[in-house]
Amino acid sequence: MTLPLSEDLWPDVRPETARRLMAAAVQSFAERGYHATTTRDIATAAGMSPAALYVHFPAKSAVLFAISRSGHQRMLTTVERVVAGAPDDPPVAMRALVEKFVAWHANRHVVARVVQHELNALPPEDYAVVADLRRRTEQLVRDVITAGVEAGAFEVPDVRTAARAVLGLGIDVSRWYTPSSKPAPDELGRQYADLVLKMLGHR
């Protein structure tokens, strides 16, 4: 029993109509880019009228913001859970973090591309909310690396650059991954986790 895509992606969004509009927007933004997509395109792709869209979202940018905030919130929550699950073992936390982060960007490459690459189209006040989620996620990754260095498990000359590299590796997967890519998302996550642990000097 698989959930419809929109429910799996946005379990916290209600009603289903709003989720359907978000899923239609992801497809349209991915195909044509944000700027070339109209609210009419989104509504039509969702099988609705433009007026029905405005019931849920005051503007096209509000749909992008909902998609972007939700994607970033999910990544932050994923990282928070992983860190909480292995508070005293930075290598275990880092392995789980990379596995989940990479698998998500492979499985959800279409929505991830919109989440990661249309940031500049967000209105400033919306961008600030998303930027804060990104900062908190990056800070958690840095904290895991720092804890690993202090415990003697990692050897890292520059924690900030290492954290960017870890996140960048995962995000980049959404750029090239397609349904026919190999290996499968979970296996890619394991391989990338091995590479990251070596990159961080873990023996």
Judged by CB under 8 A, does residue 36 bind a copy of itself? yes
Residues 12, 124, 176, 180: which binds a copy of itself (CB under 8 A)?
A: 176
Q: How far is the CB of 173 from a copy of itself (least distance, A)?
A: 7
Judged by CB under 8 A, does residue 97 bind a copy of itself? no
Judged by CB under 8 A, does residue 142 bind a copy of itself? no
Number of residues that bind a copy of itself (CB under 8 A): 31
Separation between Cα atoms, residue 30 and residue 197, nearest integer Å:
32
Residues 4, 33, 85, 87: which binds a copy of itself (CB under 8 A)?
A: 33
Q: Which residue, 8 or 172, is less far from a copy of itself as judged by CB?
A: 172
Binding piece for a copy of itself, criterion CB under 8 A, among 53-61, 64-72, 77-85, 160-168: 160-168
Please report, as a single letter, which amino acid is at residue 95: R
Judged by CB under 8 A, does residue 199 bind a copy of itself? yes
Judged by CB under 8 A, does residue 116 bind a copy of itself? yes
Instruction: Using CB under 8 A, list all residues that contact a copy of itself.
Output: 32-36, 116-117, 157-158, 161-162, 164-165, 168-169, 171-173, 175-176, 183, 188, 191-192, 194-196, 198-201
